[in-house]
Structure 1
Amino acid sequence: MALDSIAEVVLKAVGQFLIEVVLVGVFYWPGWLILRTLTFGRYPPKRPHPHSEEFVGAFGFAAILVGALLTVSGGGL
C-alpha cells in the first residue's frame, strides 16, 4: 500500500513538472502569439489580468503539432 502511495505522488510530481516546464516554458510563447493574432489581441490579456498559462501552452503545442503533421503529410488540403 505504501509503495502505491509513493508511486502516485512521484507520478503527480513528474506530471506537474512536465506541464509547468515543458508545456508552459516551451510552448507558451508560440501559443501566445497565435492566440493574440486569432483573437485580435484580446486573449491572453495583458499582465495584471490572470489567464490560464497551461491553456496557452497547450494551444501552442497543438498548433505546432498540426503544422508539423500538415508539413509531413504534404498538406493534404
Structure 2
Amino acid sequence: MALDAIAEIVAKAAGQFLGEVVVVTFYWPGWLILRALTFGRYPPEKSKLHNKEFVAIFGLAAILVGVLLTVPGGGL
C-alpha cells in the first residue's frame, strides 16, 4: 500500500518535470512560429496570460514535422 503511494508521487513528479522541460525547451520555437503564422497576434507578450503549454507543444510538433520531412526515406 505504501509502495503504491510512493510510486504515484514519483510518477507525478517525473511527469511534472518532463512537462516543464518541454515547456522551457520548446516555448521559443513555438512562439516564433506562431507569431509568424498569426502575423504577431498570438502569443501575446509573456506578461499577459496565454497557454504556454500549447505554444511549447506547437513548437515541439513543428520541429518533429521538420525533422521527419528532412529524413531521407522517412518523410510523410
**One-letter amino acid of the structure 1 residue matched with residue 14 of structure 2:** V
* Long gaps (5+) in structure 1: none
Q: Does 1:3 align with 2:12?
A: no
1:53 positional shift:
1.0
C-alpha RMSD of matched pairs (Å) = 1.7
CA distance in 2, matches of 1:64, 1:41: 20
1:74 positional shift:
5.5
Equivalences for residues 1-77 of structure 1 within 5 A: 1-20=1-20, 22-73=21-72
CA distance in 2, matches of 1:23, 1:50: 19
1:75 positional shift:
8.3
When the two structures are superposed, what TM-score results if normalisation uses the length of structure 1? 0.88
Higher mean C-alpha deviation, range 44-53 or range 56-65: 44-53
1:61 positional shift:
0.3
* Long gaps (5+) in structure 2: none
When the two structures are superposed, what TM-score results if normalisation uses the length of structure 2? 0.89
CA distance in 2, matches of 1:17, 1:31: 19
